[in-house]
Amino acid sequence: MSSWDDYSYKVHKGLLGRDLIFGIPFVPFLVIGLLTLILVVLVTMWQIIPFSLIILYVMREITKNDQYLLDIFFDSLFQPNYLD
């Protein structure tokens, strides 16, 4: 089995990074965007837009240092509790 050092071409770390939308992973961005869109269109709740923007900003600051933190958080949030 070969390792990464066996290859003759070096790969820049920027090419190995994740695709982020406004600094946020795709799935949390999609969930917040759809929830905001549903509340604004169906319920005409325009007050949700500033809260959504604040949540997006907080998520962006969280993912600045670790891009996988939100994925790990949401995965662990929805895992069944095995200790009960």
- The domain total for the chain is 1
Q: Find the domain containing 68 and state its range.
A: 19-77
Per-residue pLDDT averaged across 11-38, rounded? 81
Whole-number Cα distances in Å, 84 to 72, 80, 81: 21, 9, 6
Per-residue pLDDT averaged across 6-32, rounded? 76
Residue 8 falls inside a structural domain: no
Q: What is the model's pLDDT at position 1?
A: 47
Total count of residues recorded for the chain: 84
Residue 56 falls inside a structural domain: yes
Contact 28, 67 (CB under 8 A): no
Most confident of 7-11, 13-17, 34-38: 34-38
Q: Which residue has the tokens 């929805």?
A: 78
Q: What is the model's pLDDT at position 24?
A: 87
Residue 12 falls inside a structural domain: no
